[in-house]
Amino acid sequence: MGESTSADLQAQKKAVLELAVRNHPGVMTHVCGLFARRAFNVEGILCMPVGDGGESRIWLLVHDDERLSQMTLQAEKLEDVLSVRRHGADHAVFERLEAFFQ
């Protein structure tokens, strides 16, 4: 999804979104497409099935700008998105992954 091109963008405030979704082929495209279409940068993305595989959890690392609440509302409208929770950028999920990106 869009790359951050400038240092300013890197310095921007971030947030982590946690989406519970129905697990089927296509749901990632729906979620990623929504952000791309509305020209909203996604910095990091992580998706794994949970439980018996009927649901997945998607973690998104995004910029916390004034459009984020609109993006959250749009994501909630997707039929296969069951819930959206917003966390601070300090959420452990992406921090723990940093080791894999050294």
| Interface ranges with another protein (CB under 8 A) | 25-26, 29-30, 33, 37, 69-70, 73-74, 76-79
- For the chain, the C-alpha Rg in angstroms (whole number) is 13
Quote the least distance from Cβ 24 to another protein, whole Å.
Answer: 9
Neighbouring residues of 79: CB distance < 8 A, sequence distance ≥ 6: none
Quote the least distance from Cβ 97 to another protein, whole Å.
Answer: 28
Q: Considering the complex, state which of residue 26 and residue 49 has its C-beta at the smaller distance from another protein.
A: 26
**Torsion of the alpha carbons at 84, 86, 87 and 92, rounded to the nearest 10:** 30
In 3D space, the residue among 17, 19, 18, 13 whose CA is nearest the CA of residue 64 turns out to be 13
Quote the least distance from Cβ 15 to another protein, whole Å.
Answer: 18
Quote the least distance from Cβ 100 to another protein, whole Å.
Answer: 29
Q: State the DSSP H helix or E strand holding residue 75, giving kind and residue range, or none if neither.
A: helix 68-77
Q: Considering the complex, state which of residue 60 and residue 94 has its C-beta at the smaller distance from another protein.
A: 60
